[in-house]
Amino acid sequence: MRKLSLAIICLLCIISCTETKKDKKTKNQGAMAHSVGKINELSVVIENDLWKSNVGDTIRKYLGAEVPGLPQQEPLFSMRQMPMAAFSGLARKNRTFLWIKKGKEEERKYGVLNNKFATPQLGVVISGSSDADIISLIREHQETIVSRFKSTETLEKQSRIQKSLEKIPQLKEKLGITLKIPTAYRIAIEEEDFFWIRKDLTNGSMNLMLYELPLGIVTKDSNTVSSIIKMRDSIGAIKIPTSEVGHFITEEAYAPYLYETTLDGRFTFETKGTWEIKDRFMAGPFVNYAIEDKVNNRLVVLEGFVFAPSINKRDNMFELEAIMKSIKFE
């Protein structure tokens, strides 16, 4: 009797272990593939004839629009068009895609697909029975589409940065903030309330300035742009070393772009434009975040700027933006 009981117990154990292994195997087989693609690279799934029509022109107008604040023309996204027949296998694993559907039976519709074929992944689907339907939907939702794709790319960039971070505890000690900064960056200047952090490029550099000022120094009125320019020019002229000729200032010919946003839950002015050093023929793009820290009665300013003559700078600036958007107040 004891032998029979022991045999039954052993048999049950074997069955249980076998089922557990099968369960694990099934779960692993069903795991979502990781998405692929370069930062700011967008797949556009659309038939060739539509891509060459007014529908394609509308897509290029909004998603291929010029990035504000750069000294040369560069598109918001590097788009790669493919017909539906090619949208399979590895192509479906691209991190971001815009899918255009047209047909007599297609409903006029705008939709979003999250992690449909890979993760992380964001797909926007626009369908209609006519070119006019599709074009009107693109126009109606273009700001949301661009914003959502950019947010996806920012999170991906921050995820890549997270893999190799430079430890700069002084930011917390002196400014009361933390930032996710890659190990390729180094401190060029460190003071009590000012940091200049740099990354060397083959022909130039990527730069971060971090500092604090009294809370009321940037006004919320018709003079906001002027007060931001005055603020950054006064700091740049003092803190960024140049030769005896010229100072690091905002380019005077064109007014910078001004937006309102939030960083770490705090109201922020976002300014994009071009810096220059007069009489030295040096210039480049900058993005400035003036963050209201009312708890500490101060303005925390983060600025990223690039000096890299004769090369595209969109992705360099995007990296700096991703770093600054990782700010956390302690």
Give 50-111 as a DSSP string. Answer: HHTSHHHHHHHHHHTPBPTT-SS--BSSEEEEE-GGG-SGGGGGBSEEEEEEE-TT---EEE
Name, in order, each residue with C-beta under 8 angstroms of 240's C-beta and a sequence gap of 6 or more: 196, 209, 248
Euclidean distance between CA atoms 292 and 257, whole angstroms:
19
pLDDT score of 50: 98
The domains found in the chain, sorted by start residue, are 41-162 (no CATH), 170-329 (3.40.1000.10)
Residue of 254 and 130 predicted with greater confidence: 130
Identify the pLDDT of residue 210.
98
Give the model's confidence band at 244: pLDDT under 50 very low, under 70 low, under 90 confident, else very high: low
Express each pLDDT in 63-122 by its tens digit. 999 999 998 999 999 999 999 999 999 999 999 999 999 999 999 999 999 999 999 999
Q: pLDDT averaged over the chain?
A: 90
What is the rounded distance in angstroms from the CA atom of residue 245 to the CA atom of residue 52? Answer: 51
- Give the residue-averaged pLDDT of 216-230: 92
Radius of gyration of the chain from its Cα atoms, rounded to whole angstroms: 26
28 phi and psi, to 5 degrees? Answer: -65, -40
The strand pairing partners of 75, in sequence order, are: 66
Token pair listed for 326: 């990782």
Q: What pLDDT score was predicted for residue 96?
A: 98
Q: Provide the angle, in degrees to the nearest 10, between the axes of the packed helices 314-324 and 131-162.
A: 60
Q: What is the mean pLDDT of residues 160-184?
A: 96
Give the residue from 154, 35, 40, 148 showing the smallest Cα distance to 95.
35
Residue-wise pLDDT for 307-323, tens only, equals 999 899 999 999 999 99
**What's the N-to-C CA distance of the chain in angstroms?**
69
